[in-house]
Amino acid sequence: MFKPSDLFDLSTWQFRDIFDRLDYAWSALPAIHDYVLGLIGRTGTRKPALPGVHYLGEEIFIHPDAVVEPNVYIKAPVYVDAGVEIRSGAYIRGDALISTGAIVGHSTEVKNSIFLPDAHAPHFNYVGDSILGRHTNLGAGTKLSNWKIAADKTIHIKLEGQDIDTGLNKFGAILGDGAEMGCNSVANPGTVIGRGTLVYACAAIRGYFPPNHIVKLQQQFLVVEKRPD
C-alpha cells in the first residue's frame, strides 16, 4: 500500500525512475535534490527573463511552455516541465520537480517536493517534503506539515498495530492519484492518502487513509437566539 505503484500511475511519466526499486514512496524524498540536479545537468539551465520573476541560484530549468506570473521566487534546484502554471506570489524553495500540467498557486510555498502531472496546489498552500499524485488538488489554505513538534523528530506511521519508522525527520504528506483535500485542512507529518480519497474541509489528519474513501470532520454547533440589546 506504500509502494509508488500502489499510489501512482507511473506508466507514462517521464521521471518515474526516481521511484525505481523503492519499497516506500517516501524514500524518494531524500533523492529529489540530486535527481533534479541530474535532470538539469542533461537539459542545461533555462531561466527566462520574465517580469517580476526572481531566480535564486543557477540550477533552474523552466520549460518554454510553462507559465510563470510576476512576483514569483524560485530557488535552485528546480525543474519545471511543460504546461506548468506558477501563479503570482508563489515561492518554490528548492529541490522541486514539477511535472506537466501542475499548478503552484498564489501564495503557495513548495519545498523538496514532487508534483506528478496535473497536481494542483492552487491557493495559499504549503507543500513541504511531499508528493502529489496525478490529478490531486489541495483546497485553499491547505497545509502539508512536515516537521514534528514532539521531542522525537523521526516520523513514524502507525498501521494495524505496526509502527513503521520512515527514517525521515522531514516528511509532509503523500497524496495518491486523484486524492483531494478540502479548504483549510492540514496533513500532519507522515500522512499518506490513498488514490481517490477525499479529505473534507478543516480536517486535521495524520497517518494512513485507504483509497476511495471520504474523510469527514464532524462538528456540533450550538445556535442560540440573539438577545436584543
Mean pLDDT for 83-110 is 98
In a domain, 61, yes or no: yes
Query: What's the predicted TM-score (pTM) here?
Result: 0.96
Q: How many CB atoms lie within 10 A of CB 48?
A: 11
**Using an 8 Å Cβ cutoff, are 107 and 72 in contact?**
no
Which CATH number covers residue 86?
Answer: 2.160.10.10
**Using an 8 Å Cβ cutoff, are 159 and 207 in contact?**
yes
**Using an 8 Å Cβ cutoff, are 128 and 148 in contact?**
no
In the predicted structure, residue 229 carries a pLDDT above the cut 80: no
- The DSSP H or E segment spanning 4 is helix 4-7
In the predicted structure, residue 4 carries a pLDDT above the cut 90: yes
**Using an 8 Å Cβ cutoff, are 90 and 109 in contact?**
yes
176 grid coordinates? 495518491
In the predicted structure, residue 200 carries a pLDDT above the cut 90: yes
Looking at the 3D structure of the chain, how many domains does it have?
1
pLDDT recorded at residue 160: 83
pLDDT recorded at residue 52: 96
Q: Give the pLDDT band of residue 120 (cuts 50, 70, 90).
A: very high
In a domain, 22, yes or no: yes
In a domain, 226, yes or no: no
In a domain, 154, yes or no: yes
In a domain, 184, yes or no: yes
Q: CA-CA distances (angstroms) from residue 197 to 72, 98, 109, 160, 193?
A: 31, 22, 23, 19, 7
The burial class, CB within 10 Å (0-12 / 13-18 / 19+), for 27 is middle
In a domain, 144, yes or no: yes
In the predicted structure, residue 219 carries a pLDDT above the cut 90: no
In a domain, 170, yes or no: yes
Provide the residue range defining the domain that includes 180. Answer: 4-215
In a domain, 224, yes or no: no
